[in-house]
Structure 1
Amino acid sequence: MSTRQENVVQKVSVLTLGAMVVGSMVGGGVFTLPRQFGAATGVLGAVIAWVIAGTGMLMLALVFQSLAVRRPDLDNGIYVYAQAGFGNYAGFNSAFGYWASNVAGNVFFMVFTMTSLGAFFPGLGQGNTVLAVVVASVGVWLFHILIARGIRQAAVINRIVTVAKLIPIVVFIVVVLLAFEARTFTDNFWGSETHTIGSLFDQVKDTMLVTTFVFLGVEGASVYSRLARRRRDVGRATVLGFLSVLALFASVTLVSYGVLPRSDLAAAEPPSMGSVLESVVGPWGSDLVDVAVIISVQGAYLAWTLVNAEVLYAPATTDVMPRFLTRNNRFATPIAALVSTTIAVQVLLLLVLFVDDALDFMLKLDTALSLIPYLLAAGYALKLTVTRETYRDDEERERRRQRSIAVVAVLYAVFLLYSAGAEYLLLACMIYAPGTLLYLAARREQGLRAFTPVEAVACALLSVAAVVGIVVISTGTLAM
């Protein structure tokens, strides 16, 4: 980046960083929670699920907070921590997988927007009609133009949109809480007729992908660490944003059990928050949620596109990605990375016309791709506590505390991989494996050896898993 471009980049406050975290996490997922949880479990299972998810994601948030302080020299943490801890190929896969996950998420946001608009304009259908794809494509390129004019300006707009989309969610919680019926809540306490630990475990496990999807974005401030006014603001924004969103998500889930039977929640039309609110106040409740979805999802699209431009740009500056991705425009926006992201979203959006259930497919794809980057970041934090790197002799107590946090974060990430199941892991490998070609191009640019022996083994295993995934999914051995 030139000196002139460095001067153009403006630093943002902890409040704006926190808004990026909230804006990244509060997208379309929150509006599907009543149905997703109603179909999976009852009140008890939901409470346990949120405790597990809340604890696990809080540990991940604390991991990002710690790494921001321990390694202030590392920016764009979601990939660079994997690179610093486990090598260039791990760093590349973390960056590429995270980027691909966000691309799928952005398509989900656009399709969900068209689905919500379909309540007012029937021609948009369920977001998969030709008209819906055309309108969504226009939106994709309008966002591109906005962000291309400067990350700082787009970040301010994201802060405003974040506030706007939170208001309807708070209204939902308050209104539904006023209509809360203790008897309905009690009837929904158990998620099945079998009151066993095994049954409860299965119910909780079935919610893990949902909680993972809605919490994606907890690392938003870490990704933007280079824009923070003070390094400690990164950690503060991460924890502040996470706790705020956790309170919202858990509240939306639990108050819904107090107004509708679990069977009705499970059968609610998307967005299910609208069905719950409509049962309390009438049709205008559903309309309010539809409008909230549009605002929220478009805000999340903006936040994730901001993140994605950074996720391609930063690895290119350290030669993990090809050098063309380092190009900036006169507004100091990583324009090559932004163009690549927008084109990828556009191409994947066109595929919506040929997919039976686009929303479900994109949600699964998004979640499957996001798990490895989280595991690698937590693994690096654990590695630092074991090797004692960055810890002084008089910080033994702090090192032990951070080690405990990192262990829980790693175990939670592993549990998520287990909860995802073989089909989702193989699907992720099918995306990761061909991305290696981009890594090889970057290595060739530098005249460097492609892999270390360990990386070569990892690449071979990834390629084999991708082939297995193609075979078992195409033959129907594993159903998505």
Structure 2
Amino acid sequence: MKGHDVAQASEHTHQDQTQKVSLPTLTAMVVGSMIGSGVFLLPRRFGTETGALGAIIAWTIAGAGMLMLAFVFQRLAMRKPDLDAGLYAYAKDGFGDYIGFNSAFGFWASACAGNTSYWVLIMATTSALFPELGDGSTLLAVAISSVGVWAFFLLISKGVQQAAFINRIATIAKVVPLIVFIVLAIALFDAGYFADNFWGGSGIEVGSLWTQVKGTMLITVFVFMGIEGASMYSRYARRREDVGKATVIGFLGVLGVFALVTLVSYGAMPQGDLAAADQPSVASVLAHLVGDWGSVFIRVGVIVSVLGAYLAWTLMAAEILYIPARAKDMPKFLQRSNAAGAPVAALVLASALVQTLLVLLLFVDDALDFMLDLTAALALVPYFLSALYMLRLVLRRETYDDGDRRRNTDLVIAALAVVYTAFLVYAAGLDKLLLACVLYALGTILFVIARREQRLRVFRPFEAVLFGVIAVGAIAGVVLMATGVEDIYDHPEQERHSYYVTDPSGP
């Protein structure tokens, strides 16, 4: 989903918890869990929005903000070890049942949207051989993707819940092509292109520097999604202090890869050509530099990597519903598992949402970018709530002894993480937030069912107000989809990429 691949994480999570690892191994585990499919999309996404200077600023902001968020998850894992359900548990403990439910549902919907983007990316990648697949959202592409969705459902429901060889192959498939791309792009770097692209606007209309930077924020969220998984490795560390070191070293390594892939692309071709490149744009850039073999090399790696990630994140999506269901925060039917031990009801619901989103893409232009941004927008609320929960712990001195010097450091980290995630909500744009409200409103049906099963009052007063706000946003989101989905910019007169519902009978 996304900019990460939790396949490797799934493998290690089920290992014997007494097995301790060294700092280099711990760092490699952190890196492996964060680098995924999103990195292959960066040249075009940044080329569409900004020049090299804006990219440098964007990665600086994203790097600092996401590092604070990584520290938040790391500290929460240590200070609240009893809350082992992650984002959902933090929101519930801090802000009540309905907000906790929304955190779980939002992250689940984000995982499903990310899985949908995987199918779009696979089809778009394969379109080099089969042009009928187009950008991944043609009728044929959606039909083939739909078959894939339910084929994976059948595979996983039979108990294929982890396979070490799949994890290793997927890791190699994503890391080796990236290394080759970066080395070749540096060797063939054209300083003239980079200078022309530095301020932005070489062959493409862009807004102010602020607008350019803001336009990149959602894709930086997408590629870093899964950062919360780094905290799960604390249990494997030989030394407690290695956790913080591995988080910082691993994160900076991943940030370096993302920034390099972005910046070397500005030295490969004019920005206008980057913005027009087919996805996966890393393949398009490498083909421009070395010929068609470069595109084939990258595309094979992308497909293998994405299929491995899809398997892992389908399991993750099912678990996100299954764990709250066992805690009675989701309807009890989602607790159902089959003879193979697979949470089959949660798998059906996750596969059904992916299927629904695939059908929606028949009516949306720029299908891949649309789904990437929706994925990131849905994840923002759970991330914001986790940062806010950490800030709440610090301010209330919960889990802190009097005179604990770490409290001041944690206060700065939590405050910066809250500011950063709040900024991301703003940068997401009104259209993405309203579309997210549609899914949150529909998801509330599950919350109502769960509360009635337990014969509990559905909403407390402030929760009823919150639901009212979500419902109003959902209505506006439906109207937006019916009349045309367009990004709202500071400078609407400037033509930039947008997402809008198309007339399926039109050209």
- Using the size of structure 1 for normalisation, the TM-score is 0.88
Greater helix proportion: 1
Question: Where does 1:429-444 land on structure 2 (aligned, <5 Å)?
Answer: 429-444=437-452
Q: C-alpha distance in 1, partners of 2:432/2:131? A: 33
Query: Which of 110, 116, 123 matches 1:114?
Result: 123
Aligned to 2:408: 400
Q: C-alpha distance in 2, partners of 1:228/1:121? A: 46
RMSD: 2.9
Structure-2 change in CA distance of 1:264 and 1:347 (3 Å)? closer
**Unaligned stretches of 5+ in structure 2?**
1-12, 488-498, 500-507
Give the CA deviation at 1:279.
Answer: 1.9
Aligned to 2:106: 97
Contact conserved, 2:34 with 2:225, CA < 8 A, in 1? yes
Give the CA deviation at 1:333.
Answer: 3.7
Query: Which of 16, 39, 54 matches 2:48?
Result: 39
The AA in structure 1 aligned to 2:218 is L
Query: Which of 179, 183, 190 matches 1:170?
Result: 179
Contact conserved, 1:309 with 1:337, CA < 8 A, in 2? yes
Residue by residue over 1:177-235, the C-alpha shift from the partner in whole angstroms, topping out at 9 and shown as x without a partner, is 11113333233221249xxxx9222211111112112212212355x68x965796987
Contact conserved, 1:42 with 1:262, CA < 8 A, in 2? yes
Contact conserved, 1:78 with 1:95, CA < 8 A, in 2? yes
Contact conserved, 2:283 with 2:295, CA < 8 A, in 1? yes
* Count of residues in Structure 1 that have an aligned counterpart in Structure 2: 466
Instruction: Please state if 1:265 is matched with 2:274.
Output: yes
Question: Where does 1:147-296 land on structure 2 (aligned, <5 Å)?
Answer: 147-148=156-157, 150=159, 153-154=162-163, 157-192=166-201, 199-221=208-230, 241-296=250-305
Q: Which SS does the other structure have where 2:277 is aligned?
A: coil
Q: C-alpha distance in 2, partners of 1:18/1:110? A: 30
Structure-2 change in CA distance of 1:468 and 1:21 (3 Å)? farther
Bigger CA drift: 465-474 or 292-301? 465-474
Q: C-alpha distance in 2, partners of 1:288/1:378? A: 40
Structure-2 change in CA distance of 1:60 and 1:424 (3 Å)? same
Contact conserved, 1:68 with 1:235, CA < 8 A, in 2? no
Structure-2 change in CA distance of 1:410 and 1:251 (3 Å)? same
Give the CA deviation at 1:39.
Answer: 2.2
Give the CA deviation at 1:241.
Answer: 5.0
Structure-2 change in CA distance of 1:355 and 1:19 (3 Å)? farther
Q: Which SS does the other structure have where 1:451 is aligned?
A: coil
Query: Which of 452, 455, 458 matches 2:463?
Result: 455
**Unaligned stretches of 5+ in structure 1?**
1-7
Instruction: Please state if 1:124 is matched with 2:170.
Output: no
Q: C-alpha distance in 2, partners of 1:87/1:213? A: 27
Q: Which SS does the other structure have where 1:393 is aligned?
A: coil
Bigger CA drift: 254-263 or 398-407? 254-263
Give the CA deviation at 1:239.
Answer: 5.2
Q: C-alpha distance in 2, partners of 1:436/1:312? A: 13
Question: Where does 1:49-68 land on structure 2 (aligned, <5 Å)?
Answer: 49-68=58-77
Structure-2 change in CA distance of 1:153 and 1:299 (3 Å)? closer
Contact conserved, 1:172 with 1:277, CA < 8 A, in 2? yes
Q: Which SS does the other structure have where 1:260 is aligned?
A: coil
The AA in structure 1 aligned to 2:453 is E
Q: C-alpha distance in 1, partners of 2:310/2:245? A: 23
Aligned to 1:409: 417
Residue by residue over 1:96-117, the C-alpha shift from the partner in whole angstroms, topping out at 9 and shown as x without a partner, is 1111111111111011101111
Aligned to 1:341: 350
The AA in structure 1 aligned to 2:262 is T
Contact conserved, 1:64 with 1:235, CA < 8 A, in 2? no
Aligned to 1:474: 482
Give the CA deviation at 1:122.
Answer: 3.2
Structure-2 change in CA distance of 1:201 and 1:348 (3 Å)? closer
Contact conserved, 2:37 with 2:174, CA < 8 A, in 1? no
Q: C-alpha distance in 2, partners of 1:117/1:478? A: 28
Instruction: Please state if 1:70 is matched with 2:79.
Output: yes
Give the CA deviation at 1:431.
Answer: 1.3
Give the CA deviation at 1:326.
Answer: 2.2
Give the CA deviation at 1:253.
Answer: 0.6
Aligned to 1:363: 372
Give the CA deviation at 1:369.
Answer: 1.1
Residue by residue over 1:266-293, the C-alpha shift from the partner in whole angstroms, topping out at 9 and shown as x without a partner, is 2222222122111221111111122122
Q: C-alpha distance in 1, partners of 2:349/2:40? A: 29
Q: C-alpha distance in 1, partners of 2:310/2:324? A: 22
Contact conserved, 2:201 with 2:271, CA < 8 A, in 1? no
Structure-2 change in CA distance of 1:416 and 1:438 (3 Å)? same
Q: C-alpha distance in 2, partners of 1:20/1:368? A: 26
Give the CA deviation at 1:384.
Answer: 0.5
Residue by residue over 1:326-383, the C-alpha shift from the partner in whole angstroms, topping out at 9 and shown as x without a partner, is 2334554433322321232233324444444432332232122111111001000110
